[in-house]
Amino acid sequence: MVATFLSSWAHVRRRRSDGWSIGALVLCFLLVGPVLALVLTATGSSDGLWGHLLDTVLFRYIGNTLGLMLGVGILACFFGVTTAWVVTRYEFPGRLVFEWMLLLPAAIPAYIVAFTYTDFFEFAGPVQSQLRMMFGWAQPSEYWFPEIRSLGGAILVMASVLYPYIYMVTRIAFRLTPASLFEIALVHHKSQFRDVGLPLARPAIAAGLALVLMEVVSDFGTVEYFAVETLTLGIFNVWLGMNNIVAAAQISLVGFVFILSLLGLELYARSRQRFSSTTSKTNKLQPLVLRGRGQALCLAICCLPLVFGFFIPVGVLLKFVLTGQAWANLVAVAGVVTGSVSVAILAALLVMVISTLIVLAATYRGGDMLRRMAMLASTGYAVPGTMLAIGVLIFAGAIDRIYAGLVGDGRASLLLGGLGILIVAYLVRFQAVGYGAVISGIRRLPDNMMGASRVLGNGFAGSLQRVILPLLRGSIMAGGLLVFVDVLKELPMTLLLRPFDFETLATYTYQFAKDEMLEEAAFPALMIVISGLLPVILMNHMLRRTD
């Protein structure tokens, strides 16, 4: 009798655990589907195009892509980590404002920043005009000024708007580091930053950096505008110029492999390190009060990325709005804002729910297989948007055909042509953002947390609800916020997959920006920033209350 009870209990337990893992696995497969569709496309024949590419452009593409990744990676890490450290560890005037302001550059699409930088730094722009006036130069040949439309320019632009991905997760990591560890460092005359803060924040920094690099590999707008020949630019030359979508899919997988190998490298390097503390709630980290030079340094560290990522671009946009006739389309833009924001909220909610489920199942239930799948499911971010959109189209087309077969109506469609496909596309693309936020949160939790809760009589779901989820709340909200601004500014997928007459702020801005009509594009572009502003402030307020 007892034996029967025990065995059925074990059976039920196994089944329930399977339910979680299988659910997560199914979700992962759905998220990987569009990427798989691209991989399948890439298996076709590329008509010997690789010989030509190898002979001519491939190494240039790869060199530029790697250069861009390296440059943006270093600069974004510098911006993100230093600011995160300063606002959590020190007390200085304006700290609470910087705390949320530093997130704002994330709300500006990189290609818009590229436009504004060109306007600001080019020959006729205010910087060079001022220099010419000061030194009495007249002709461009009389002096040297760095070309903004270059690899260096692209690095500056992208790092300035992408560093918040690192800042956001790193700040949470710094904040959750137990104060006692810093005290130990003080006692032993070790650097609080180098010997305690940085190593403990490494998973978070890596997660943020992964997002930044994926964004770099998949960017098209900025590199096209600055004419930097990266792999993404090559994809479009091959696809649209040579009518060879197979080779285009193959090139996009090259960028994908870059990212996967980087992720693998980081995982390997970290495989034997575990940092977690069971005493994180015992005493709270108090910011150190600074004076004089220290304060000035903190201010400088916080202002630098803000100037590049926010004040210059927003200033140029404002100039266009105030001098142009941008107010004329106020009514049109107001309608677009509503649609834009609702879609972004919906997508952010869905992404966070799905990525939390997947991470929880992979961490506490699944084996290595599920963990790898979970990582794979969050790589849609590394594929250029338009190519991923094509993957989504192929994938959704297949689902629709099955659906049409079931219903018996060839014209029936479940996903294509509606908002559904757009939401699916956002899930596939921004799963990486949700996954990164949740995984960096969960890695900080002590291994024995779940065990302790189970011993105290909570079930698995109960433990999640009562113990694990409350501890992950900050990370989940941070991820949701990033997804929200990401969707708000997402362009290539929205452009291609949207239903008839559906505009988001990004697509509305783009129709003007495409022809470099900056005056017309400035107002909707500014609205993207403003729409991102409120949730950033709100979320920051909630984050502050969580600890």
What is the rounded CA–CA span in Å between residue 536 and residue 102? 10
Q: Which is nearer to other proteins, 292 or 410 (CB)?
A: 410
- Work out which of 400, 473, 537, 546 binds other proteins, going by CB under 8 A: 400
Yes or no: say if 60 and 228 are a contact pair by the CB < 8 Å rule: no
Site for other proteins in 59-98 (CB under 8 A): 60
- Cβ nearer to other proteins, comparing 367 with 410: 410
Of 330, 353, 402, 406, which lies in the binding site for other proteins, with binding defined by CB under 8 A?
353
- Closer by beta carbon to other proteins, 35 or else 423: 423
CA distance 481 to 501: 27
The answer to whether 413 contacts other proteins (rule: CB under 8 A) is yes
Amino acid letter for position 12: V
Give the largest CA-CA distance in the chain.
Answer: 99
Among 417, 446, 449, 473, binds other proteins (CB under 8 A): 417
Query: 24: which residues sit within 8 A by CB, 6+ positions away?
Result: 357, 358, 361, 362, 365, 366, 370, 373, 374
Residue of 4, 139, 271, 273 that binds other proteins (CB under 8 A): 139
200 versus 497: smaller Cβ distance to other proteins: 497
Residue pointed to by tokens 């790193």:
170
Q: Strand runs (DSSP E) across 46-167, as ranges?
A: 90-91
User: Which of 314, 423, 477, 482 lies at the binding interface for other proteins (CB under 8 A)?
Assistant: 423
- According to the binding rule CB under 8 A, does residue 312 interact with other proteins? no
Closer CB to other proteins, 289 or 330, in the complex: 330
Minimal distance in Å, beta carbon 270 to other proteins? Answer: 29
Q: Does 354 bind other proteins (CB under 8 A)?
A: yes
Q: Which of 394, 449, 533, 537 binds other proteins (CB under 8 A)?
A: 394
Give min distance, CB of 52 to other proteins, in A.
6
Give φ, ψ of 321 to 5 degrees.
Answer: -65, -40
Q: How far is the CB of 253 from other proteins (least distance, A)?
A: 17
Residue 298 vs 491, nearer CB to other proteins: 491
State the amino acid at position 531 in one-letter form.
S
Residues 369-388 that bind other proteins (CB under 8 A): 386
Task: Figure out which of the listed residues 149, 319, 454, 473 binds other proteins, where binding follows CB under 8 A.
Answer: 149
Residue 303 or 404: the one with the smaller Cβ distance to other proteins is 404
Binding residues for other proteins restricted to 233-292, rule: CB under 8 A? 233, 236-245
CA 100 to chain centre: 17
Among 124, 133, 134, 187, binds other proteins (CB under 8 A): 124
Identify which range of 65-73, 162-170, 513-521, 539-547 contacts other proteins by CB under 8 A.
Answer: 513-521
Q: What are phi and psi of 289, to 5 degrees?
A: -80, 135
**Minimum gap (Å) between residue 115 Cβ and other proteins:** 11
Near other proteins by CB under 8 A: residue from 77, 155, 477, 497: 497
Q: What is the DSSP string of 172-206?
A: HHHHHS-HHHHHHHHHTT--IIIIIIHHHHHHHHH
The answer to the question of residue 328 lying near other proteins (CB under 8 A) is: no
* Residue from 94, 294, 315, 418 binding other proteins (CB under 8 A): 418
**Which position among 389, 438, 482, 521 is part of the footprint of other proteins (CB under 8 A)?**
389
The owner of tokens 């000035």 is: 296
Find the binder of other proteins among 396, 439, 450, 506 (CB under 8 A): 396
Does residue 357 belong to the site contacting other proteins (CB under 8 A)?
yes
Its sign, for the CA torsion 166, 168, 171, 173, is negative
Q: Which residue of 130, 150, 278, 286 would you call a contact of other proteins, by CB under 8 A?
A: 150
Interaction mask 200-239, other proteins, x per CB under 8 A: --------------------------xx-----x--xxxx
Distance CA 437, CA 169 (A): 7
Nearest to 489 by CA among 510, 512, 469: 510
Shortest distance, CB of residue 334 to other proteins, whole angstroms?
A: 17
Distance, CA of 33 to CA of 108 (rounded, Å): 29
Q: Measured between alpha carbons, how far is 84 from 525 in angstroms, rounded to an integer?
A: 27
Out of 376, 495, 533, 537, the residue judged to bind other proteins by CB under 8 A: 495
C-beta closer to other proteins: residue 514 or 541? 514
Instruction: Give which of 274, 275, 238 is closest to 254, Cα–Cα.
Output: 238
DSSP state, 465? I
Q: Using the minimum distance from each CB to other proteins, give the nearer residue, 280 or 509.
A: 509
Distances (CA, A) of 8 to 12, 33, 64, 364, 459: 6, 36, 60, 22, 17
**Whole-angstrom distance, CA of residue 297 vs CA of residue 291:** 10
Q: Which residues contact 397 (CB under 8 A, 6 or more apart)?
A: 416
Contacts (CB under 8 A) with other proteins, residues 424-463: 424, 461
Q: What share of the chain is helix, strand, coil (3-state, %, to 5)?
A: 80, 0, 20
* Pairwise CA distance, residues 418 & 546, whole Å: 38
- The residue count for binding other proteins (CB under 8 A) is 74
Decide: 289 and 93 in contact? Cβ < 8 Å.
no
* Shortest reach from residue 260's CB to other proteins, in Å: 24
Q: What is the CA angle 513-343-84, rounded to 5?
A: 80
Q: Is 158 in the site for other proteins (CB under 8 A)?
A: no
Residues 5-64 that bind other proteins (CB under 8 A): 52-53, 55-57, 60
Residue 90, SS3 per DSSP: strand
| Choice from 67, 152, 339, 420 touching other proteins (CB under 8 A) | 420
Contact call for residue 190 and other proteins (CB under 8 A)? no
- Residue 449: CB minimum distance to other proteins, A: 17
How many CB atoms within 10 Å of residue 412? 13
CA-CA-CA-CA dihedral for 490, 492, 493, 496, to nearest 10: 140
